[in-house]
């Protein structure tokens, strides 16, 4: 279908509800889903580069310099 019939679109209505997990402006963390694997990827990159597997965040220089 190359086009939409605009007369078929419906109007949106606002729904009032209470959510204890939403912050004061009413914004939820939508971007959290896409960034959940980033810390793991950084830890893996540090492990491959240094040969030291870090399992505690935040990764600091002290964790990489300490002898095992």
Active site residues: 32
Q: How far apart are CA 68 and CA 66, in angstroms?
A: 6
Cis peptide before 58 (omega within 30 of 0): yes
Is residue 46 within 8 Å of residue 38, measured between CB atoms? no
């Amino acid at each position: 279908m190359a086009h939409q019939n605009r007369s078929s679109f419906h109007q949106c209505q606002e729904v009032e509800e209470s959510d204890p997990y939403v912050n004061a402006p009413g914004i939820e963390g939508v971007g959290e889903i896409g960034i959940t694997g980033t810390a793991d990827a950084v830890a893996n990159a540090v492990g491959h580069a240094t040969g030291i597997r870090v399992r505690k965040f935040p990764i600091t220089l002290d964790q990489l310099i300490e002898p095992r």
